[in-house]
Amino acid sequence: MQTAGGKAENAWLVWVRRKQRRAAGAHAPPDLIRELESLVESAGGIVKGGQTHFVPAENPATLIGKGTLERLKETVKENLVDLVVFQNLLKPKQQLLLEEELEVKVLDRREVILDIFAQRARTREGKLQVELAQLSFRLGRLIGGRRELSRLGGGIGTRGPGEKKLEEDRRKIRSQLRQIGRELDDVRRTRKIHYDRRKEIGFPVVALVGYTNSGKSTLFNRLTGAAVFVADRLFATLDPTARKFVLPGGKEAILVDTVGFIHELPDELRESFLATLEGIGEADLLVHVVDGSTERMEDNIASVGKILAVLEFGKKPAILAVNKADLGTAGGPIEKDSVRISARTGDGLDVLVRAMEGELCTQRQAGKDLTRPA
């Protein structure tokens, strides 16, 4: 992520919380601030620091009070900050006023995630989904107050449709949204045909799901011999990928790698990227891959479960694969029916694949037709 002059953007992170929430047992501030830091770094920014502000009430104009705003302004200048990123979801007017006061670009976490998606999308479907999500988000910005980005010099939050689309009126943006929706429908129909053909051949479908950066793509590569891009960063892969792999008994199945989940996924993204997750809907079995080396393991498991439930996939048969066993287990006790693996070294993968085959056999014996979509 760079400005128009080619310089990486220095970012300062902010999370504003109500004082009574401090005692309410919510996530400790460092948890989500660390996640936000990872998001900004994944987008290419340089995090100079961050802070949590506890306020008696959120200021409707700028979210934070006048005194806090003055201190933040001093921090921005002292640290040569180009970009302030809020964990909070900002209203259009708040964003505009904050930019005017701080004299730097201000984003919330939604725009950082959108920027990462814009960088990572490779397929036609992925690019269409990015454009749909960004235009939907920016349409709300036009309704609430046109945001001037011409002075902000590019960088995080300005990729994708770009500045020219921000200058278009609401009618034209809505027309673009309808066109993109039609194109996505075509892509979904084509994918559905492909899934149905695989089902007719008799291939059961197994989908890998999990929190982003849990090791799903590494596991996918191990089991299928594919070369899906892998990196130690959030949302390293965006586009869904499907490959055949062989079960221990010799039968073939389809393995689907999906985009990683994240805590408190914004509604705009959940809806826009539902097509990316349609592979989950077609699956006969889910393998929930979790990073067993992180202290946030249980929180990550709960976040994935919540999103699956919202998408109405929560009742599908699933196997919990606790990954990164070679790094040790930091996230508390392992569930009884889980499988410990290391996608990097290959340890435990034979046990995992046998568990997949066993679950698919159980479904077949129970009379479920694995040649039909779930």
- Range 263-292 average pLDDT: 74
pLDDT score of 144:
43
- Domain limits, the chain: 10-164, 202-365
Q: Write down the architecture of domain 10-164 according to CATH.
A: 3-Layer(aba) Sandwich (3.40)
Largest Cα–Cα separation, the chain? 68
Task: Describe the crossing of helices 124-144 and 92-102 by its angle, rounded to 10 degrees.
Answer: 80
The percentage of residues in the chain with a pLDDT greater than 70, rounded to a whole number, is: 72
Mean pLDDT within 167-175: 74
Per-residue pLDDT at 369 exceeds 60? no
**Four-CA torsion 51, 55, 59, 65, nearest 10 degrees:** -70
Tell me how far apart the alpha carbons of residues 71 and 88 are, in angstroms, rounded to a whole number: 18
pLDDT band at 26 (very low <50, low <70, confident <90, very high): very low
Judge if 10-164 and 202-365 fold alike in CATH terms.
yes
Q: Report pLDDT for 94.
A: 93
Phi first, then psi: give them for residue 45, nearest 5 degrees: -85, 165
Q: Which residues does 267 contact at the CB level (< 8 Å), separation at least 6? A: none
Q: Contact at 8 Å (CB) between 274 and 191?
A: no
The rounded distance, in Å, linking the Cα atoms of 288 and 140 is 34
Whole-number Cα distances in Å, 128 to 191, 240, 368:
15, 14, 35
Confidence at residue 5, expressed as pLDDT on a 0 to 100 scale: 57
For the entire predicted model, the pTM comes to: 0.70
Q: Does domain 202-365 have CATH number 3.40.50.300?
A: yes
**Range of lowest pLDDT (29-33, 46-50, 137-141, 352-356):** 29-33
